Amino acid sequence: MDWSLRDLRFFVTAAEAGSFTEAAGQLFVSQAAVSRTIAGFERQVGDQLLRRTVRGCEVTGAGAQLLPEARRVLAEAERFNRFLTARHRTLRLGYAWAALGVHTPALQRQWPDLCGGLELELLRHNSPTSGLAEGLCDVAIMRREVNAELYDSVVVGLERRLVVFAADDPQWARRRVLSMSELADRTVFIDTRMGATDPSLWADAGQRPRFLESSDVDSWLDGIVAGRGVGTTAEATAHHHPRPSVAYRPLRDGPRIAVRLAWHRNEPPEGLGELISLVTRLYS
């Protein structure tokens, strides 16, 4: 069947109005257009849906069956229209582990004054591209290199690298600063899909840590709390995932982590320039 939302709208309006003439007035079309559209819809359905009467029209048995379903489809179409409209008024900023750390509240507070007609929505996605590849966000916060064939990106700031361990760790509980070489003596949790730590950090070292893989920030933290290993991460993680049972400490010689904003190549979303300027200023 090749019916359309227009067919459903005309049918529902006429059924509720009880008159083709009244329906035409509500739809801002001629009565002939209403009659023609409903007649065509009835031919597709294979049943008479509205019966003409002296006072207007009334719903037939077949029409009564179709009416609630037609209303449901129209309501879903309206919901979809609202989604499309809202989508163009919202800039979706995705992240996997942490947004912008200590700068996140400032971003949210200052954004309305900078770009008040466009809402900024922060969304966490357990995805290597923070939801960008899946179409779940318009811009992604990344702390890894991006695929330049698929995405454009810009570095907006640098973050310190921290070491993470259980607060009651017998070796480090009293330590305030550590070094990369000390990590080489431990088991280190890494997230090879989304994390900012990988074995290449120790490529030139005489000794490398033992590695355990985790699938997301929560399982990573759970493993550290359990004492099965330690971790290293960007300082933003400490602000987004504080736990009394976890200690975050600076790494004296840990390489800084570049914070990037990424988006689909050659498809800059509305508000991107303002977002880049504001985040860069927050990190400066």
Q: Which of the 8 DSSP states describes residue 99?
A: S
Task: Grade residue 193 by pLDDT with cuts at 50, 70 and 90.
Answer: confident
CATH code for the domain of 54: 1.10.10.10
Mark which of 87, 112, 133 sits at the end of a domain: 87
Own/partner pairs for 34-43, CB < 8 Å, 24+ apart?
A: 34/10, 37/6, 37/7, 37/10, 38/7, 38/10, 38/11, 38/14, 40/7, 41/3, 41/7, 41/8, 41/10, 41/11
Are residues 134 and 178 located together in one domain of the fold? Answer: no
When pLDDT is cut at 50, 70 and 90, the band that residue 86 belongs to is low
Q: With cut-offs at 50, 70 and 90, classify the pLDDT of residue 201.
A: confident
Each residue of 8-64: pLDDT tens digit?
999 999 999 999 999 999 999 999 999 999 999 999 999 999 999 988 999 999 999
By C-alpha distance, which of 170, 168, 165, 140 is closest to 154? 140
Could you tell me if 154 and 21 lie in one domain? Answer: no
Beta carbons of 23 and 34 less than 8 angstroms apart: yes
Q: How many CB atoms lie within 10 A of CB 155?
A: 12
Range of the domain at 72: 5-87
What would the pLDDT profile of 231-271 be if each residue is shown by its tens digit? Answer: 999 999 999 999 999 999 999 999 999 999 999 999 999 89
Domain count, the chain: 3
Q: How far is it, in rounded angstroms, from Cα 219 to Cα 56?
A: 66
**Rounded Cα distance, 190 and 173, in Å:** 21
Q: Are residues 96 and 147 in the same domain?
A: yes
Do both 65 and 180 map to the same domain? no
Sorted by sequence, the CB contacts under 8 Å of residue 161 that are 6+ apart come out as 196, 232, 233, 234, 235, 250, 251, 254, 255, 256, 257
State the pLDDT at residue 51. 94
Domain boundary among 37, 59, 87: 87
Do 273 and 190 belong to one domain? no
Note the pLDDT tens digit of each residue in 150-170. 999 999 999 999 999 999 999
Average pLDDT over residues 189-210: 85
Q: Both 58 and 176 in a single domain?
A: no
Question: Do 165 and 227 share a domain, yes or no?
Answer: yes
Cite the beta strand spans of 85-243 per DSSP E.
90-95, 119-124, 139-142, 151-159, 161-166, 187-190, 210-213, 231-234
Average pLDDT along the chain: 92
pLDDT > 80? residue 84: no
The closest of 283, 254, 284, 279 to 110, measured between CA atoms, is: 279
Contacts of 2 by beta carbon, 8 Å cutoff, 6+ apart: 44
What are phi and psi for residue 222, nearest 5 degrees?
-60, -40
Contacts of 117 (CB under 8 A, 6+ apart): 89
Tokens of 100: 């912008």
165/247 same-domain check: yes
Contact between 14 and 51 under an 8 Å Cβ cutoff? The reply is no
Q: Among candidates 210, 239, 222, 2, which has minimal Cα distance to 99? A: 239
Q: Are residues 169 and 143 in the same domain?
A: no
